[in-house]
Each structure stands twice: as C-alpha cells, then as structure tokens.
Chains A and B, each alone.
Chain A
Amino acid sequence: GIQVEQSPPDLILQEGANSTLRCNFSDSVNNLQWFHQNPWGQLINLFYIPSGTKQNGRLSATTVATERYSLLYISSSQTTDSGVYFCAPPEWGNTPLVFGKGTRLSVIA
C-alpha cells in the first residue's frame, strides 16, 4: 500500500515564526488532506488539496502530485497552532485515508 513520510517529526517554534512541513508519498494520488490534531485529539480539516496551491489565512498548502509530495506552510505561528499535523492521501480511490506519523509542532510564546 501507499507509504507516507512526514518531516520533520518534531518542530519547536517561537511565536511569530514561519515553518514548512513536508509530506512525501510513495504512489500517485488523486487527493490528499491535511489535518491538525489538537491536544484533545480532535482532527481538524485544514485542506483538501489533490494538486496545486490553496491558502486559508496564515496557512497554505501545495501539492505536486507528479513529484509525490505536499507542503504545508504556517506563517506567523501562534501558540494555538501547537499540535500534530498529518497529511493523508487515500489508499485507493478516495478512501480510506493513509496517515503518516505526523509532525508534532510546539509554538512557544
């Protein structure tokens, strides 16, 4: 099945800093989602991004499906951005989603 690798595994930022999270996947995909898991375990949808670039406030994401990677950009980070970020392409068709181990982000005031 498809393999997902995320980097870095851990990231500590000062509030206000910018960061880039990377997601590599082993096979071609027709969609991909980014999630933020908050400290209470809730997975929050950030982006559905099979290709191209999308922006939502301080967050943006880019997927280059032909090169099998996606990037999540966080600008002007805030303490509320802390948590684990997952990318998840589907195993087949549109589901089920395959998750990597995530990037654990800690933003310090």
Chain B
Amino acid sequence: DAGVTQSPTHLIKTRGQHVTLRCSPISGHKSVSWYQQVLGQGPQFIFQYYEKEERGRGNFPDRFSARQFPNYSSELNVNALLLGDSALYLCASSWSDTQYFGPGTRLTVL
C-alpha cells in the first residue's frame, strides 16, 4: 500500500501570496492531521479532520484553513503569507491510535 502522499514537494512564494498544500492519506484511513515544523523545532499541530469534519485546531491564525474531501484527501490553505510561515508542512493519516506521516511540503516565503 502507498503511504501518505503530499504535493508539491517544495514551494517558493512571496509575502502576501496564498498557498494550497495537498495530502492523500493511506488507503482506508479516514483521519488527516496537519503539522507545521519550523527549523530546529518539533512539528506543531495545525488541524485534524475526520470524516470531512474538523476535529481539532491548533494555535494558528485564521489565515490557516483546511478541508477534507469525500475521498479523505485534504488541503491546507494559507492566506497572506508571512516570512514566518516558511516551514516544513507535514500531513499525517491515522488508523486507530497510530499516526503515519507523509514526506512533507517545504514552503519558503520570500
């Protein structure tokens, strides 16, 4: 079975722009979570979705939004990009108690 996939792999944007990141979970997994990892830190929780409903939100501004589609894939949207949004964005799908992470999207904001 394929693991969690994310696209794009890398992305360069300028301040003020908008970005959409995509994630496809492992087949059969209905829950998707998004994390942001800045350099030198551990990942920090942004959103969790289960069966297309938001189940949790971390301490991030309203510029961050997400949604989950009927096929359980998910999008993370970030508006009005700031330099501080430069990070590795990780998507995880979960089955029972275990989360499995994708390879991430590395976002650079100039």
- Are A and B bound to each other? yes
Interface positions of A (Cβ within 8 A of B): 4, 31, 33, 35, 40-43, 45, 48, 50, 86, 88, 91, 94-102
Write out the residue numbers on chain B whose beta carbons fall within 8 Å of the beta carbon of A48.
Answer: 97-98
**Distance in angstroms between the alpha carbons of A100 and B103 in the assembled complex:** 19
Determine the main DSSP class of B at the interface with A: strand
A-B contact pairs, 14 of them (CB 8 A): A33-B98, A41-B103, A41-B104, A42-B101, A43-B43, A43-B90, A43-B101, A86-B43, A95-B48, A95-B94, A97-B33, A101-B41, A101-B42, A102-B42
| Interface: B61 (CB within 8 A) | no
**Size category, B interface:** 20 to 34
Interface positions of B (Cβ within 8 A of A): 31, 33, 35, 37, 40-45, 48, 55-56, 58, 88, 90, 92, 94, 96-101, 103-104, 106
**Distance in angstroms between the alpha carbons of A42 and B96 in the assembled complex:** 21
**Distance in angstroms between the alpha carbons of A85 and B55 in the assembled complex:** 27
**Distance in angstroms between the alpha carbons of A43 and B56 in the assembled complex:** 21
